[in-house]
Amino acid sequence: MCFGRVVAGDQFDEFLQSLAQELSLGNRRFIARNFLLDEGVCSERETTYERAGVMRRHADLNDWQEMHGKYLFSEVYLRRPHPMPTQIDRTDENNCPETFRHQIAFRDFGAVDIGLDIIRVQDIPLRLVRRAGFDSVDELTDLARNVLADPFATSLIQRLDSALELWTRSLDLRPMWAGFWEDLWDLFGPDTSRDSPEWANELRDRFGLYHLNPAMRSAVEIPIFVFRYPVRILPYLRGERDLRPIAIPTVLDGQFNEAFCPAPKDEPCGFTLYLGKQGGTLRREFLHPSVQFQAQHLFRVGTVTSPVPADLSDARAQHLQRICVEASRGDYANITDGDLL
């Protein structure tokens, strides 16, 4: 049943099924359910995952996670060249993450209007701050806020651009998770003074960014950068300048994530799992190749202060119910999540 198909007697499927129903795992059991549920993994990627030795019966979740990580660093989290690539060559396995090597990555949003704006949320790890030449996260966020307050301060902009370049240079080529501005604009005013007071917490909740949890990090708050940028800055497909790699997220595109939930195969995008109390409408999520952010792309600096739910069962149940309606798939996830629905 892995990747949306039933395979009787398959060792990996049986391993996933046992984890999926193991209540002692808490939210972690949803990781196995997603592998059983995800219909968006194409046959080529399934073959690569199997060839990496991951699709077998593992000793436990931790053993599986270690093998999954090896797959990611071999096929998805590739070493970043310098300068940053401005185009994607699907045949270049050294510089093109497997996420974007197959036609499915361009199926729906590849030819989207290049003027549409994208939103990405990025937390600010101290190790990356230091690589960018700052002594503390506060020093970098203060600079960023000053740039937002005075967008014509050339010296400040140059310093922030330099910091972002040094920061980005230390990262790999893993796909970036993002959403469309159209789904998030209502959180923000025409300037920072008129933003919704809880915009940072609500943005975290709408994006389903479960890892941005102050309680889990023993922190009072988590600083974040919000980047807003047009589709046109994304790398284009080699030989077809009008196509951008904008892919539907799958379980093979990142580390294990309790708050991720795959979309049915006929949907044009993924949907974030809402972490707040009332989910409302589904909000789109997708993956695009790494880009070099600059000061001009910085939209907001904020702090996440509220915890995420300790138990994601209710959030997942509501999310799956909305997907069933959106996709007209009343039976979607009944086998994996029938205990929630």
Inter-CA distances, 318 with 67, 70, 261, 274, 282, Å: 31, 33, 12, 9, 10
- Interaxial angle between packed helices 137-149 and 154-169, expressed in degrees from 0 to 180 and rounded to the nearest 10: 140
Inter-CA distances, 333 with 37, 273, 280, Å: 7, 15, 20
Question: For residue 110, what pLDDT is reported?
Answer: 67
Q: For residues 94 and 5, what is the distance between their CA atoms, to the nearest angstrom?
A: 30
Q: For residues 79 and 341, what is the distance between their CA atoms, to the nearest angstrom?
A: 41
The tally of CA atoms less than 13 A away on the side-chain side of residue 171 is 22
Beta strands at 87-88 and 236-237: parallel, antiparallel or unpaired: parallel
Question: For residue 298, what pLDDT is reported?
Answer: 98
Helix (H) or strand (E) holding 298: strand 298-304
pTM score, two decimals? 0.95
Do residues 143 and 136 touch, judged by C-beta distance below 8 A?
A: no
Q: For residues 72 and 174, what is the distance between their CA atoms, to the nearest angstrom?
A: 9
Residue 194's contacts (CB-CB under 8 Å, 6 or more residues apart) are none
CA dihedral 291, 296, 297, 303 (to 10 degrees): 130
Provide the 8-state DSSP code for 288.
E
Do residues 316 and 261 touch, judged by C-beta distance below 8 A?
A: yes
Helix (H) or strand (E) holding 37: helix 29-37
- The Cβ of residue 278 has, within 10 Å, a number of other Cβ atoms equal to 6
Beta strands of 104-246 (E only): which ranges? 117-123, 176-180, 222-230, 236-237
Chain position carrying tokens 């990025």: 122
Q: For residues 161 and 166, what is the distance between their CA atoms, to the nearest angstrom?
A: 9
- Each residue's pLDDT expressed in tens, for the chain with a length of 341 residues: 689 987 888 999 999 999 999 999 999 999 999 999 999 999 999 999 999 999 999 999 999 999 999 999 999 999 998 888 889 999 999 999 999 999 887 777 767 888 999 999 999 988 878 888 899 999 999 999 999 999 999 999 999 999 999 888 888 999 999 999 999 999 999 999 999 999 999 999 999 999 999 998 877 899 999 999 999 999 988 888 888 889 999 999 999 999 999 999 888 889 999 999 877 789 999 999 999 999 999 999 999 999 999 999 999 999 999 999 999 999 999 999 999 98
Q: For residues 279 and 319, what is the distance between their CA atoms, to the nearest angstrom?
A: 8
The tally of CA atoms less than 13 A away on the side-chain side of residue 210 is 18
| One-letter amino acid of 176 | M
The conformational region for residue 288 under phi > 0 = left, psi -120 to 50 = alpha, else beta, is: beta
Structure tokens at 73: 């660093």
Give which of 31, 77, 49, 98 is closest to 173, Cα–Cα. Answer: 77
3-state secondary structure of 48: helix
Question: For residue 85, what pLDDT is reported?
Answer: 85
The tally of CA atoms less than 13 A away on the side-chain side of residue 302 is 25
| One-letter amino acid of 305 | T
